[in-house]
Chains A and B, each alone.
Chain A
Amino acid sequence: MSQAYKEKRRFIQGNEACALGAIAAGCRFFAGYPITPSSEIAEVMAKELPLLGGKFVQMEDEIASIAAILGASLSGEKACTATSGPGFSLMQENIGYASLAEIPCVIINVMRGGPSTGSPTSPSQSDLMQAKWGTHGDHPVIVFAPAYISEIFVDTIHCFNLAEKYRVPVILLLDEVIGHMRARMDIYKLSADDIAVIERRKPTVSPAEFMPYDTSDSLVPPMAPFGQGYRFHTTGLIHDRTGFPVNDGLTAESETIRLMKKIYENESDIIEYEEYMTDDMDIMICTFGSTARSAKVAVNKLRDDGIKAGLFRAITLSPFPRKKLRELSARVNKIYVPEMNLGQLRLILERVTRPVQVPIIGINRINLAPISPDEIYQTIKKGEGYV
């Protein structure tokens, strides 16, 4: 098993924790293309996978990288790729393919400043909307955004588990801050639940009876690997349960809705979040990823001043923990949303909390630096921010 398990604790970089988490999840296939600030993930995979009989390949671009992991996944391997903004843009078409053809895969995006080539070595959280809506068409996708080094390791395992369980592309959003940060990871503190690994469901029927999208017993059909007697067709065209393209509206509608339902009907199994001092809060700070680290410090400082602040940190960004947030928003006077973009999480919050009509105030920075605890603290103290 991975070197990570051989030690009780380790001083580790976020990107390295991500790569080791993938290996711990059973990922044995990586295809990628060099891009800052994600390249360390590829470098660790290139070093570790050969020791485990796994496969690493550096493809000619990011489009090829995601295509290769989809081919590997159809062959039966757990597979992932890692990139940053420009590469993530190139991957969008095949993310849609994975959604429609229901091919498990994990796409890691270590976010950097954008748009375009942007600021390769600087942090950003501006790919949130793209992670959710980047590919064309209505489609399901699961998005995770950890904030701590140990959590990157654990959430990477969870991402693979969810990809395999729900046959869906899962996007792990890191940002340059936590991707390149080094911290202690206490391996001995991880619970069995943290590192439990889920395998994809395989068909129990004979090849003659097999239908690749048979959903008679579950919204998520079982999946057969290539080379084991189950011959089937995979296409990016709208298809019925036989896997072959159809051109009728009823199937197009019912199959697309099923793809959405398999995620939304299992929200409680998928969604993760963290609450900090939310029990008696009057002011809620809601954020995700590395910005939550600063927000937590700001909550402490505000509490020192007698202001009842609390933090809600969304770990799962899609499906979004809307029910919990609607409930919490009814109990507060104001919601502050610090994020390293111009208001992408705020836009989601405005939608999910609409029945409550609580003021939602942005603390937005795109100045290539992390948002400091003091910036959040001062903005809230002075009653500033973007409405």
Chain B
Amino acid sequence: MSNIERYLRKDKFPHIWCPGCGNGIVLHAFLRAIDKLNLDQNQVAAVSGIGCSSRATGYVDFCTIHTTHGRALAFATGVKFAKPELTVFVFSGDGDSTAIGGNHFIHACRRNIDLTMIIFNNNIYGMTGGQYSPTTPYMKYASTAPYGNAEQPFNISGLAVAAGASYVARGTTYDAAQLDNLIIKGIENKGFSLIEIFAPCPTVYGRKNKLANPVDLMMWQKELTMPVAKWNQLDDEEKAKYQPTGILTDIDKPEFCDEYAKTCAKAQKIAKGELIS
């Protein structure tokens, strides 16, 4: 614990998260990952949107931006592209990243810019009081789905893979020990890295869905997920019942800032007449 305290703005505590919320478990895993990699605090930027999880930027002692709703990735793209030497993190929730910020999400994946994004997926809009989000499961309840949610949910990690992210991993706060490694691998990946983490919301999601006890929500995570190696062996019908966890994609792919630097070098050669366009 003492090692990670240096990365915290301790005067900003207590935090705003409810008892039983998974966000603190995710933040702790993130700080352990930073600590294990011994990153220079002055060369780290953390960018977030709006929502419960996006308040995380206020608690970590880096250069931090708490941006507008859904726009964290677009701000972070500006930070990273302007100063590629910085290590840039993005904290976001399921609504922030895949509803209002969905367009930025798929394009950051496609562009493969070297950002590490952590999505705290709690299946609900917590801060505004429990409205259904793009990951609220079918027929689960929310304040705006009082008779059950008629929509189908997003598979966020699947979306990232399809959109071209070079590293995608999924974890749960139930299996917190695994998170450090998933985040470290994401930081080490040169390209866009997404770590989607199921983080329970007992206060809002749980209460609406007879899962108000945080332990019940943890057990729900356990029942819902399966390590990807085991999941891969299932037939399609069985696969549909579970969400695979672990590293789902880890591929080498040209990174945006690097590729842009190459095109600048090319442009300068053309301007000097050393290369014909």
Q: Please name all residues of chain B whose beta carbon is closer than 8 Å to the beta carbon of A69 when the two chains form the complex.
A: 78
B247-268 vs A, Cβ < 8 Å mask (1 yes, 0 no)? 0000000000000100110011
Q: Is A281 an interface residue (CB 8 A)?
A: no
B66-78 vs A, Cβ < 8 Å mask (1 yes, 0 no)? 1110010011111
Known A50-B268, A234-B65: A75·B78 in contact at CB below 8 Å = yes
Of all A-B residue pairs in the complex, the 6 with the closest CB atoms, nearest first, are A71-B78, A67-B74, A68-B78, A64-B74, A72-B82, A50-B267
Q: Is the CB of A50 within 8 A of B264?
A: yes
Interface residues on A, range: 35 or more
Q: Is A153 an interface residue (CB 8 A)?
A: no
Q: Is the CB of B42 within 8 A of A72?
A: no
**A293 to B63 Cα, complex, angstroms:** 47
Q: Is A176 an interface residue (CB 8 A)?
A: no
**A373 to B63 Cα, complex, angstroms:** 54
Q: Is the CB of A233 within 8 A of B64?
A: yes
Q: Please name all residues of chain A whose beta carbon is closer than 8 Å to the beta carbon of B85 when the two chains form the complex.
A: 227
Known A72-B79, A97-B67: A227·B58 in contact at CB below 8 Å = no
Q: Please name all residues of chain A whose beta carbon is closer than 8 Å to the beta carbon of B58 when the two chains form the complex.
A: 233, 235, 244-245
User: What is the minimal beta-carbon distance from A138 to any residue of chain B, in angstroms?
Assistant: 18
User: What is the minimal beta-carbon distance from B61 to any residue of chain A, in angstroms?
Assistant: 6
**A68 to B80 Cα, complex, angstroms:** 9
Q: Is B45 an interface residue (CB 8 A)?
A: yes
Q: Please name all residues of chain A whose beta carbon is closer than 8 Å to the beta carbon of B63 when the two chains form the complex.
A: 74, 226-227, 230-232
Q: Please name all residues of chain B whose beta carbon is closer than 8 Å to the beta carbon of A245 when the two chains form the complex.
A: 58, 66
Q: Is the CB of A226 within 8 A of B57?
A: no
Q: Please name all residues of chain B whose beta carbon is closer than 8 Å to the beta carbon of A73 when the two chains form the complex.
A: 78
Q: Is A93 an interface residue (CB 8 A)?
A: yes
Q: Please name all residues of chain B whose beta carbon is closer than 8 Å to the beta carbon of A64 when the two chains form the complex.
A: 71, 74, 77, 103-104, 107
Chain A contact surface mostly: mixed
Q: Is A31 an interface residue (CB 8 A)?
A: yes
Q: Is B62 an interface residue (CB 8 A)?
A: yes
Residue ID in chain A nearest B77 by CB atoms: A68
Q: Is the CB of B82 within 8 A of A94?
A: no
Residue ID in chain A nearest B50 by CB atoms: A236
Instruction: Pick the contact of B78: A79, A227, A229, A237 (CB < 8 A).
Output: A79
Instruction: Pick the contact of B74: A55, A59, A75, A232 (CB < 8 A).
Output: A59
Q: Is B243 an interface residue (CB 8 A)?
A: no
Instruction: Pick the contact of A31: B47, B64, B78, B268 (CB < 8 A).
Output: B78
B81-96 vs A, Cβ < 8 Å mask (1 yes, 0 no)? 1110110000000000
Instruction: Pick the contact of A71: B57, B65, B107 (CB < 8 A).
Output: B65
**For chain A residues 56-79, which have a beta carbon within 8 Å of chain B?**
57, 59-61, 63-65, 67-77, 79
Q: Please name all residues of chain B whose beta carbon is closer than 8 Å to the beta carbon of A79 when the two chains form the complex.
A: 78, 82
**A228 to B267 Cα, complex, angstroms:** 30
Q: Is A29 an interface residue (CB 8 A)?
A: yes
Q: Is B181 an interface residue (CB 8 A)?
A: no
